[in-house]
């Protein structure tokens, strides 16, 4: 059984702390909200008057806080975790924050002799409630092994992202994809309805193509990720279809802003002489442009 200080008992933290409790750990919670602290006590947890007190003599201190400023305050500020967490214990930040803030907090803690693991969470509070979160872990190898049994109380998937700071980076990359796709999904389904299509039909069709299943698990593995740019579906044709969609959406009065941005990139690809390459060659083009800048 470990003693765990848990800072931030909100939508995510409260149920994660409860899952630690139900696995037999001692969890001392701290949150600015009295309602959150009361709920943690109802779940069988203990509470402290500060992040520092919650972390005193703990084996782990965990933060599940809204942003980087909150993490800095709770960890490095007055009455913060760093004041009382023993040096042979680990601080685990599960919050989603800017990766450069993660690096700075980790360095500041290291200067005080405390090791940190960044382990942001994939999926939502629905899975957190069920103990089925996914963790993107940025840690030294030895720390990864130490935190895994603790994370296993709260989730079912732990991915070693490749060293300190990489969990935080992975989370932002992941969320760039999911947050942008959310907008594209909403725009496309709005357009679909405006064309007169039944929504269930649209969901069924797109659930069976790269549109709904995603390029990473359909088109990319057999083409651009293998260095194969021979066209299964060429850029010229993809752009023709995108142009039709943009024109039709404008006619229907539901312009799709992300499609207009995408169209510019297909135009760049054609200008780059890639019109007859596979549509996944867009990735090859962007990656090469980036490499030539750095």
Annotated active-site residue in 171, 223, 239, 240: 171
The reply on whether position 98 binds ligand NAD by CB under 6 A is no
Q: Which is nearer to ligand NAD, 13 or 45 (CB)?
A: 13
Query: Under rule CB under 6 A, which residues in 185-214 are in contact with ligand NAD?
Result: none
Q: Which is nearer to ligand NAD, 31 or 284 (CB)?
A: 31
SS (H, E, C) the chain: CCEEEEECCCCCHHHHHHHHHHCCCEEEEECCCHHHHHHHHHCCCEECCCHHHHHCCCCEEEECCCCHHHHHHHHHCCCCHHHHCCCCCEEEECCCCCHHHHHHHHHHHHHCCCEEEECCEECCHHHHHHCCEEEEEECCHHHHHHHHHHHCCCEEEEEECCCCCHHHHHHHHHHHHHHHHHHHHHHHHHHHHHCCCCHHHHHHHHCCCHHHHCHHHCHHHHCHHHCCCCCCCEHHHHHHHHHHHHHHHHHCCCCCHHHHHHHHHHHHHHHCCCCCCECCHHHHHHHHHHHHHC
The correct pick among 5, 13, 45, 138 for binding ligand NAD (CB under 6 A) is 13
Active site residue 223: no
The reply on whether position 33 binds ligand NAD by CB under 6 A is yes
The correct pick among 27, 65, 119, 281 for binding ligand NAD (CB under 6 A) is 65
Q: Which is nearer to ligand NAD, 61 or 121 (CB)?
A: 121
The answer to whether residues 209 and 241 touch, using CB atoms and an 8 Å cutoff, is no
- Tell me the closest approach of the beta carbon of residue 33 to ligand NAD, in angstroms: 4
The correct pick among 3, 4, 9, 99 for binding ligand NAD (CB under 6 A) is 9
The reply on whether position 29 binds ligand NAD by CB under 6 A is no
Q: Which is nearer to ligand NAD, 10 or 275 (CB)?
A: 10
Stretch touching ligand NAD by CB under 6 A, among 61-69, 103-111, 265-273, 281-289: 61-69
- Tell me the closest approach of the beta carbon of residue 60 to ligand NAD, in angstroms: 16
The reply on whether position 260 binds ligand NAD by CB under 6 A is no
Catalogue the active-site residues.
171
- What is the contact surface with ligand NAD in residues (CB under 6 A)? 7-13, 30-33, 36, 51, 64-66, 70, 73-74, 95-96, 121, 124-125
């Amino acid at each position: 059984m470990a003693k765990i200080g848990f800072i931030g008992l909100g939508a995510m933290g409260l149920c994660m702390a409860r899952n630690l409790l139900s696995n037999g750990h001692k969890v001392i919670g701290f949150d600015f909200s009295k309602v959150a602290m009361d709920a943690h006590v109802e779940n069988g947890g203990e509470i402290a008057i500060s992040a520092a007190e919650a972390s005193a003599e703990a084996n782990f201190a965990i933060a599940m806080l809204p942003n980087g400023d909150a993490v800095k305050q709770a960890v490095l500020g007055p009455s913060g975790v760093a004041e009382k967490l023993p040096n042979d214990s680990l601080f685990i930040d599960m919050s989603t924050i800017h990766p450069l803030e993660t690096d700075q907090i980790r360095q500041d803690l290291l200067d005080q002799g405390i090791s940190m693991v960044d382990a942001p969470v994939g999926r939502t509070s629905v899975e957190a409630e069920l103990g089925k979160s996914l963790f993107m872990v940025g840690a030294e190898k030895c720390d990864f092994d130490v935190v895994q049994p603790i994370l296993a109380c709260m989730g079912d998937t732990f991915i070693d992202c490749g060293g300190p700071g990489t969990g935080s980076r992975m989370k932002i990359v992941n969320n760039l994809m999911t947050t942008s796709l959310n907008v594209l999904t909403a725009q496309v389904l709005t357009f679909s309805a405006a064309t007169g299509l039944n929504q269930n039909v649209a969901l069924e069709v797109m659930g069976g193509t790269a549109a709904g299943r995603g390029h990473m698990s359909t088109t990319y593995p057999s083409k651009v990720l293998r260095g194969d740019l021979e066209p299964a579906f060429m850029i010229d044709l993809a752009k023709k279809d995108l142009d039709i969609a943009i024109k039709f959406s404008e006619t229907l009065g539901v312009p799709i802003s992300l499609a207009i941005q995408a169209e510019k990139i297909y135009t760049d690809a054609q200008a780059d002489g890639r019109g007859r390459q596979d549509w996944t060659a867009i990735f090859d083009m962007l990656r090469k442009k980036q490499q030539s800048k750095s």
